[in-house]
Amino acid sequence: MSKDTKKNETKNEEKVNAKTKISKAEKKEAKAKAKLEKANKKSEKAKTSENNREYTKIKFVATIIAIILVLGLIAYVTNTIIKKQNFYVQNPLATIEVENFGTIKVELYPNYAPETVANFIALANNGFYDGLTFHRTIPDFMIQGGDPNGDGTGNATLKDLGQDSDEEYTITGEFIANGNNDNTLKHERGVISMARSDYSSYSASLATEGYNSASCQFFITTEDSTDSLDGLYAAFGKVTEGMDVVDKIANVEVETRETQTDSNSELTQDRPVNPPVITSIRVETYGINYGMPETREPFDINSWYMSQMYGY
C-alpha cells in the first residue's frame, strides 16, 4: 500500500471520527434540550396546579363572604320588618291618674291622627296636664278636661311643648270634614277626642277656623255618639282600662244642667261643683319618637268680630 493511500485512509478515518463526535454532541444537546423541555413542562404544570389551588382558595373565600353578606342582608330586612310591625302593633299607652277616682288607660292611634297623638304625647310627658281638671261632665255623653283656664276657654302655649315661647297655639283638625279622610275612627263609648271651638254661628265662612282650633282640651265619650261627632272631631284613641272611672266622673254633681240665659249668673252649665283633678298624664311610647306637632296661630274671634262690627 502506497503512502498516499494510507494517508487518504487516515484522513477518512479522521473525518468519520469527527462526524461521530459531532453526532454524539448533537445527541447530547438534543437530550439536554429534551430534559429542559420536560423540566419546563413539569414547572408549568406545577405552576398551573398552584394557580388552580390559589384560585380555588380565592373562590372559596369569596363564596363564604357572599354567604355572610346575604345572611346579614336577610337579618337586616327581617329586623326592619319586625320593627315596622312593632310600630303599628304597639301603640302608645296613656295613663291618666285622677285624684280620688282612679286610673284611666288609653291606647292612642297614630295611624288615625298622627299630629294629634304627637301633640297629646308632648303635652302629657312635659307635665302640662298635671293638676288640671275635668271641667265639663255630661252623663251619657262625655267628660272634658285639659284646659289650663279650667272653664273651656284655654289653650296650651309653645312653651308647654318645650319651646321658648309663651305664644298660644292650635293644631290642624285631623278629621274628614277638614280633609283628613284617613281618620275613620268612630266616637264609640270610651273614645278620646280633641275638643275645639265652633265659630260657624258667627259666619259659615269661619267653619274651617273652628276645625283648626283644637289645642290641649280633650274629651272621652261615655256612650256611642257617632252621629253627632264622627268626621267633625279628631278622635285619636280609646280607653282600654278604667271606663268605670270615666263613668264616675261623668256623674259628679254639677252647678247646673240648665242653659244659663242670664250673663250675670254665677252658675255654669255642666261644670262640676268639685271638678275632678288630673293628678298626672303620662304616655308610654315604647321607644318610638312621635316628634312634635305642626302648630298654627290661633284664630282671634274677638278681633274678627270687631272688624266686622266696626271695621278695625
Question: pLDDT of 13-31, one tens digit each?
Answer: 665 555 565 566 666 766 7
Domain enclosing residue 73, as ranges:
35-89
DSSP 237: E
Q: Give yes or no: residues 154 and 268 share one domain.
A: yes
The side-by-side arrangement of strands in the sheet containing 191-194 is 134-138, 142-145, 218-221, 191-194, 235-241, 102-108, 93-98, 278-284
Q: Give yes or no: residues 64 and 95 share one domain.
A: no
4 is a domain residue: no
12 is a domain residue: no
291 is a domain residue: yes
14 is a domain residue: no
Position 33 scores a pLDDT of 74
Q: Give yes or no: residues 139 and 191 share one domain.
A: yes
150: left (phi over 0), alpha (psi -120 to 50) or beta: left
Position 214 scores a pLDDT of 97
Amino acid (1-letter code) at residue 19: K
Q: Which of 89, 118, 151 is the last residue of a domain?
A: 89
Q: Give yes or no: residues 62 and 199 share one domain.
A: no
Adjacent-strand bridge partners of 282: 95
Q: Give yes or no: residues 130 and 171 share one domain.
A: yes
Q: Give yes or no: residues 118 and 185 share one domain.
A: yes
182 is a domain residue: yes
Alpha helices (H) along the chain: 3-89, 114-125, 207-211, 226-229, 243-250, 301-310
CA angle 186–230–146, rounded 5-degree value = 85
Q: What's the CATH number where 153 sits?
A: 2.40.100.10
pTM, two decimals, is 0.71
Position 84 scores a pLDDT of 57
Q: Count CB atoms within 10 A of the CB of residue 280.
A: 14
137 is a domain residue: yes
Position 173 scores a pLDDT of 97
Q: Give yes or no: residues 110 and 228 share one domain.
A: yes
Sequence length of the chain is 312
Q: Which of 67, 89, 111 is the last residue of a domain?
A: 89
Q: Which of 69, 89, 109 is the last residue of a domain?
A: 89
25 is a domain residue: no
Adjacent-strand bridge partners of 157: 168
**Residues of the chain below pLDDT 50:** 87-88
Q: Give yes or no: residues 100 and 240 share one domain.
A: yes
Position 91 scores a pLDDT of 97
Q: Give yes or no: residues 150 and 260 share one domain.
A: yes
Tally of domains within the chain: 2
309 is a domain residue: no
Q: Give yes or no: residues 119 and 74 share one domain.
A: no
Strands 102-108 and 235-241: antiparallel
